[in-house]
Copies of this chain bind each other. A is one copy, B any other.
Amino acid sequence: MNEPVATVAGAESRESLTVERAAIDGALDEFCARFLGGMPPAVANAIRYSLLGEGKRLRPVLVLAAFEAAGGRGDATRLAAAVEVVHAYSLVHDDLPCMDDDDMRRGRPTVHKEFGVAAATAAGLAMVPLAVRCALYGAESLGLDDAHSRRIVSELMRASGGGGMIGGQLLDLEGEGRALTLAELERIHNAKTGALICAAVRLGGIAAGASEERIDALGVYGRAIGLAFQITDDVLDVTATTDVLGKTAGRDAVLQKSTYPALLGIEGARARARALVEEGCSALNAEGLLTSRLEHLARYVVARRN
C-alpha cells in the first residue's frame, strides 16, 4: 500500500490535479484581495500566510470532483476554495500552544510562530466568518440560486461547528493522555476530520443540483474517506519523517494521543483505511457516481506519503 501518488492516480490525473490546485490557489488569492481589507494588518497577514501556504487542497479538490461526478456545470473553484478556508483555520488553531503546540506546518513555521499567538488566534477566529462570505461569493459566482447557497452555508457551518470539527478538536484535546476505545477514537476522528471532508463532497453534489439520494451517497463516500484520511494521518505520524510530512512527526506519542496504529497495529490500521475506501467507492458506484477521479482521490487518501 505504499504506492506513490503518481502511480495510483496516473500521470493524467496528476496533471489535472496540478492545474486544479493552481486554480484553487488563485481563488484563495482572490479571497485575500477581496475580503481582508479593513482588517487589522496583523490579522490580515496571518490569514494570508495561512491560506497561501502550500497545501494538498484535498477538500476543495473533493468538492470539484463531486461536482463533476454529479454533472455540475460551470466553475465551482471559488466555492471549493471556501472549504479550504475552514480547513486552514482548523490548522492555525490546532497548532497553537494551548492545543497541539506545534512549530512547523506544511514545511514552514506555524502561524503563531510567525505572527504571535494573539494574531494567530484572532486570524483563526476571523476565518470562520470569512469562510461563510467566501462560500456565498463562490455560490454566487457559480450562478447558484439563493436556496442552494443557503443550504451550502448551512451544511458547511454544521460541519465546522460544535457537532463537527470544533467539537472534535475539544474531544481530541480531552482524550490526550487517556487510553480511548476504538469507538471513542472513531467518534473524535469523524468529528474532527471526517465532518469537513464529508461536507466537501456533499457540497459538490449540492452545488451540482444532485438528488437527495445522490447527495447521501456522496456523504457516505465522504464520511468513509474522511475517516480513512485520519487513520492514514495517524499511521504517517509514526512511519514518516518530519521532512517528508512537512510537520513534526511523532507528535501523537509526545502528546500521548490514542491512535489507530496503537489500537490496531500499523497493518491493522492500514487495512481498516483500505476497507473504508472500498466502502465509500461502493456507495458511489450504487448511484452511478463513481468517476475515476473520485476513485483515485479515495485511493490517494490512504496511499499518500504526507
Contact = CB atoms under 8 A, between A and B. Distances in A.
A181 to B, nearest CB: 16
Contacts of A123: 162
Contacts of A171: 40
A122 B166 contact: yes
Contacts of A170: 40, 42-43, 118-119, 122
A42 B174 contact: yes
30 contacts: A36-B162, A38-B162, A38-B167, A40-B162, A40-B171, A40-B174, A40-B191, A42-B170, A43-B162, A43-B170, A44-B162, A93-B125, A98-B98, A98-B117, A98-B121, A118-B170, A122-B166, A122-B167, A125-B166, A126-B161, A129-B158, A129-B160, A129-B162, A130-B157, A130-B161, A132-B132, A133-B158, A136-B150, A146-B150, A153-B153
A147 interface: yes
Interface string A31-58: 0000011111011100100000000000
Size class of the A contact interface (CB-based, 8 Å): 35 or more
A154 interface: yes
Interface of A: 36-40, 42-44, 47, 93, 98, 117-119, 121-123, 125-126, 128-130, 132-133, 136, 145-147, 149-150, 153-154, 157-158, 160-164, 166-167, 169-171, 173-174, 191
Contact of A149 (B47, B118, B150): B150
Contacts of A162: 36, 38-40, 43-44, 47, 122-123, 126, 129-130
Nearest to A37: B163
A129 B196 CA distance: 13
A78 to B, nearest CB: 15
A43 B166 contact: yes
Top 6 closest pairs, chain A to chain B, by CB: A146-B146, A126-B162, A129-B161, A38-B163, A39-B162, A129-B157
Contacts of A154: 132-133, 136
A40 B187 CA distance: 10
A160 B160 CA distance: 16
Contacts of A136: 150, 153-154
A186 B77 CA distance: 39
A129 B150 CA distance: 13
Contacts of A98: 98, 117-118, 121
A173 B39 contact: no
Nearest to A146: B146
A38 B163 CA distance: 5
A178 to B, nearest CB: 14
